[in-house]
Structure 1
């Protein structure tokens, strides 16, 4: 048997080496903590804050740190219950619980305003934060947003929640990564992207994932965005991969309409588009940040 690593394993090792430039940091919130990674870019531009989805973590944004960190400070948290971050207190939390933790983390880091990017479940947290603390936002960008099941009948909410919890109990984090990670990507994704999504998903903390499953069942992103839009007049955009099978374009377009926001479809990309098509997503995020900064300076 050859000792040579497979291309996917070799690519993952390369990404891990690149990730080492952005080591885990821990912010003390007084009674809780948040682990995060950061690219300390130049001052003068609004910080960019990245919120990951249910099967991921701060490390998944390494390709954004490398590129976008050249122009601004870029931070990505491990959501409550992920990485070394303290879980929220509620067994069945709502989006406001996560938004409150996000506010505490930004306070601890001295970040008064930011451009906030939420991917999938992270969009739910971002929407709740916009509804509760719109004065802290220079812009809100939602990538493949999950809408949540909060507006669905109770039976549907319970079924969605319990099915995902049962899958977690049966497979564990490593099993979820083996069986579910390919769903995150399009058929065009390369082996390195598949390996990287699997690497991140395999490191999900089961308790944090379980709490996030409850969050998904309880959340109603459309309602939060509608509330936010009554007080927040800053830029909002929604984008989704053309081949996203988890939060399909039609569902994301409905969220964009609810937010009265421009909507973009990224050709050939899947759910974790920022992993498999980093150049396209980096350009999209950078353009949004620059537009938001220009609007604020008017």
Structure 2
């Protein structure tokens, strides 16, 4: 039994060494707020290549996109934030926020970095923020790719929405970040995930900030991604792992219908598919970026 933690620690150390190529940075945005983020060093690959912005899920952070940085950063500027309340990023003001609260911070962050238009990718809860931003700022989004999107419970009845919220908050209070990582990280992956993927998901989840996670839990309860997708008429793709037990293909199919796009189902992948099946998901992101940059046929 004692060998397992040492193997995990060794894997995490190697992943952290790779991550050091993309050091944590901070931007001061509107009203003196701080947003923590990571980016590739190729900010000026081509004036014709739009930046790629990656938004993580509720139990994660900017570091989760390491493998996408390593590959996609060779051809374009790639940025990933720590959402408000994660890492060093200033939490949003409301205790029970809406997607628009996070989308406003995203807008301010992009303004601070002078990014006028981008390719936007959101995973799970990050898809909720991405959808709200795209609905409010359609001209700033050249393409919207949602990976295993969380729909939110905003359209559900209170007797459905409130227990979902309260159960997650109670688990946070009982277990704390490290306990959540130990108990919940395996649910993020399929049975095909290797030790490296499992170590990386656990590493990211153990570093959540309780206040930020609690606010994100309220966001999940309040959000209605399908409603935001119905308002955005740009290019949208939706992808999900075939073995995703958190946002299963059946749930993602409803969101794809709201977005008026076919659902792409990735074999042998779970919820954090972009970590465990990185090559496949990186190719999906790259293909989507290239297609979104091309003129649309009418």
Indicate whether the TM-score tops 0.5. yes
Q: How does 1:72-221 map to 2 (within 5 A)?
A: 72-221=76-225
- TM-superposed CA distance for 1:3, in Å, is 9.4
Q: Secondary structure at the match of 1:141?
A: strand
How many Å separate the matches in 1 of 2:176 and 2:3?
A: 29
Matched, 1:43 2:71: no
How many Å separate the matches in 2 of 1:3 and 1:52?
A: 31
Matched, 1:252 2:252: yes
Q: Secondary structure at the match of 2:190?
A: coil
- TM-superposed CA distance for 1:294, in Å, is 1.0
With 43-52 and 101-110 compared, the bigger mean Cα shift is at 43-52
What CA deviation, in whole Å up to 9, does each residue of 1:247-270 have, x standing for no partner?
000110110010001310010000
How many Å separate the matches in 1 of 2:94 and 2:164?
A: 19
Cα contact 1:236–1:262 (8 A) shared by 2: no
- Which residue does 1:19 correspond to in 2? 19
How many Å separate the matches in 2 of 1:112 and 1:296?
A: 20
How many Å separate the matches in 1 of 2:133 and 2:193?
A: 32
How many Å separate the matches in 2 of 1:246 and 1:35?
A: 27
Cα contact 1:173–1:202 (8 A) shared by 2: yes
TM-score, reference length from structure 1:
0.95
Matched, 1:237 2:241: no
How many Å separate the matches in 1 of 2:134 and 2:4?
A: 49
Count of residues paired in the alignment = 294
- TM-superposed CA distance for 1:155, in Å, is 1.8
Gaps of 5+ in 1: none
- Which residue does 1:280 correspond to in 2? 280
What CA deviation, in whole Å up to 9, does each residue of 1:98-151 have, x standing for no partner?
000000000000000000000000000001001100110110000000000000
How many Å separate the matches in 1 of 2:237 and 2:245?
A: 20
Cα contact 1:47–1:72 (8 A) shared by 2: yes
How many Å separate the matches in 2 of 1:297 and 1:43?
A: 24
TM-score, reference length from structure 2:
0.95
Gaps of 5+ in 2: none
Is the alpha carbon distance of 1:236 and 1:4 closer, same or farther for their aligned partners in structure 2, counting shifts above 3 Å? closer
- Which residue does 1:61 correspond to in 2? 65
